Amino acid sequence: MKKKILVILGVLAIVVGTNLFTAASLIYGYSNSNSAGNVKIKYLEDFIKQNYLYDVKDEDFEVGKLKGLVASLNDPYSEYYTKEEYKELMEFTKGKFFGIGVVITKGEDNLITVISPIKGSPADKAGIKAQDKIIKVNGEEYSADKINEATKVMKGDKGTEVEVTIYRPATGETKNIKLKRDEISVETVIKGKLDNGNLGYIGITEFDENTANDFNKALDDLLKDNVKGLVLDLRGNPGGIVESASAIADRLLPEGMIVYAEDKNKNRVFEFKSDDEKLSIPLTVLVNEGSASASEILAGAVRDYKAGTIIGKKTFGKGIVQTARMFPGGDGIKLTTSQYFTPNGENIHKKGIKPDIEVDLPEDVKGIGLDYLKEDKQLQKAIEVLKKNL
């Protein structure tokens, strides 16, 4: 009997709701179908104000409408930003912020997904990996539609603690990790030497406004020291500014197309080409699951020109481009506006770039790069390949 009553009550609620919407149309003076959405929004606002347990402000509604409009696209890379959020977005491209040092995105499973930890950051040192899912912060659950709120909680003063709960799909493991926040001042270019100085190493952690200049300086220094080969490490690099990645590709590749992008009408919205000057020594490029976006532009161009050997694991697979636009009030939007193609005309979105030589890292590896050469199997393979090509 109780089940039947619940069903009837549900039907009554629908009928009453419909009548209220109809009444609202008459009260607010709307009579055509184009205004039906406005009527529903007004009705919902009034209903929430009258019945919601907590106080709600009109400005919360306005922000919610704008965020909802973009969220309706179901695109994890497109988002409306408040003035404060847009400022934080621009600060990130300049390479300095406070927090745990992890680049995240909205996963298609509506979970906060790690693109990559920033090398040397608290998240990196704690063993957080690409494709991990952050499901809780300080014990509170966050889904992908709450990614901005989760980000705010993960940020904080240097030395303060935050606990994140991660789920690792590859193993089915869930664990809590306590991290100390730190200043994440990203040195995007790391330079070094290998094999007793015979080989050069350049690691790029992301592509910001200064990355191309820093890369050129590092490469010039290594070439002056007469290195015979170069390891370019793009592992864990989540991308960044396309112009920076293309400028670096120009330094490495022969004359021709580096990358081009098209909008939904097949109009070419940008393209970058290289000149006839190219790197004259053997090249290996390290990639992994955390290499995304602009990293894949660079790796894809090297692959298509056969200008170097790609080593590691298949990349993240982000072949679409976002445009950031600030509005007069300081708020703004990041919107997917085009998709990019490698020189051979391939779009790698949701596919990634498969390395020429696939190499796994030990599950218990403590780190990658110059400081972890003895356990970094991928870097060891890059050195091996270079020495064979000398």
- Domain CATH for 267: 3.90.226.10
Q: Has residue 61 been placed in a domain?
A: no
Backbone angles phi, psi at 100, to 5 degrees: -105, -10
The whole-angstrom separation of Cα 240 and Cα 137 is 25
pLDDT of residue 95: 55
pTM of the model: 0.71
CA atoms within 13 A on the CB side of 321: 22
Q: Does residue 304 carry a catalytic annotation?
A: yes
* Same domain as 353, residue 208: yes
CA distance 73 to 70: 6
Query: Of 250, 304, 313, 376, which one is the catalytic site residue?
Result: 304
Instruction: Please say if 274 is a catalytic residue.
Output: no
Residue pair 265/337 in contact (Cβ under 8 Å)? The answer is: no
Q: How many domains does the chain have?
A: 3
Q: Which one from 293, 313, 376, 381 is the annotated catalytic residue?
A: 293
> 239 and 138, same structural domain?
no
Q: Which domain holds residue 153?
A: 97-184
Burial of 125 (0-12, 13-18, 19+ CB in 10 A): middle
d(CA 10, CA 18) in angstroms, rounded, equals 13
Q: What are phi and psi of 23, to 5 degrees?
A: -65, -40
- Whether 293 is a known active-site residue: answer yes
| Mode of pairing for the β-strands spanning 309-312 and 357-358 | parallel
Going residue by residue through the chain, which has 390 residues, state the pLDDT in tens, using 9 for 90 and above.
333 233 333 333 333 333 433 344 444 444 454 567 788 888 999 999 999 999 999 999 999 999 999 999 999 999 999 998 898 778 666 656 789 988 888 888 999 999 888 878 899 999 999 899 999 999 999 999 899 899 989 988 889 999 999 999 989 999 999 999 998 766 789 999 999 999 999 999 989 888 999 999 999 999 999 999 999 999 999 998 999 999 999 999 999 999 999 999 999 999 999 999 999 999 999 999 999 999 999 999 999 999 999 999 999 999 999 999 999 999 999 999 999 999 999 999 999 999 999 999 998 887 899 988 999 999 999 999 999 998
The residue type found at 262 is: E
Of 119, 313, 318, 381, the catalytic one is: 318
Mark which of 184, 213, 245 sits at the end of a domain: 184
Select from 127, 158, 184 the last residue of a domain: 184
Are 200 and 327 in the same domain?
yes
